[in-house]
Amino acid sequence: MNQAFDRHHDAAFEQQRILTGKLLEIEKKTEALEDDYYLDKKIPDETYTRLRTKLSNEKKEIDASLANLDLDSSNLKRYYSFAVAISLKLATVWASSDTTIKEKIQKFIFPDGIYYNREKETFLTRRTNRIFYSMAELNRVSGDDKNKQGGIDATLSSLVGKAGQMSNLLIIDLIEIQLLRCIIQI
């Protein structure tokens, strides 16, 4: 998973480089436009206003995109590492805990609860916590499948939104794992 976070950051830094380049282009165009308007008087007022507004809007969009880039994953990595540590100790904690703690762990891992299907005589869940679900999905991918359809990159794509923007739902789950830490006192 550390590789996934590192790839996520590589994409974010590449996106930052591209956006910064576009920002420089807009600044050059704005400067040239102002020179043409103020110094050389080559363009009419309405054309200047229209082009200036267009460039200003493009700059605002790029600034907003830069502000939304997720360039610091140290906390997310730490939370995910803690989730992995918890998952390794869950069987022991489950076996040694009372019913109250078991219910809290179960609610964390299966937020929508667990249901029993009488016809099939099986337990079902509608949703698994994204952290534990992603661990299970990543563990299903074999080494030789990592670059194929259904491989690690495809599995991780559901966790990442636009380039450089981690899924907000995954971030919430990663932060909530700190609450589980207090509950089971690891």
In this predicted structure, what is the pLDDT of residue 90? 83
Distance between CA atoms of residues 46 and 49, nearest Å: 5
CB 180 within 8 A of CB 105: yes
Split the chain (186 residues) into runs of 10 and give each run's mean pLDDT: 63 81 91 88 90 94 79 64 79 88 85 89 86 74 52 48 50 66 65
Q: What pLDDT score was predicted for residue 19?
A: 87
Element (H, E) at 133: helix 130-140
Q: Give pLDDT, residue 11.
A: 72
Taking the C-alpha atoms of residue 94 and residue 101, their distance in angstroms, rounded to an integer, is: 8
3-state DSSP assignment of residue 151: coil
Instruction: Quote the pTM value.
Output: 0.47
- 161 Cβ contact partners less than 8 Å away, ≥ 6 residues apart: 167, 168
| DSSP 8-state assignment for residue 43 | S
Query: What pLDDT, on the 0 to 100 scale, is given for residue 15?
Result: 82
Q: Where are the domains of the chain?
A: 2-68, 74-184
Share of the chain above pLDDT 90, in %: 17
Q: 48 CB contacts (<8 Å, ≥6 apart)?
A: 33, 36, 37
**Measured on CA atoms in the order 168, 111, 155, 7, is the torsion positive or negative?**
positive
130-140 helix and 74-96 helix, angle to the nearest 10 degrees: 90
Instruction: Determine the pLDDT at residue 58.
Output: 94
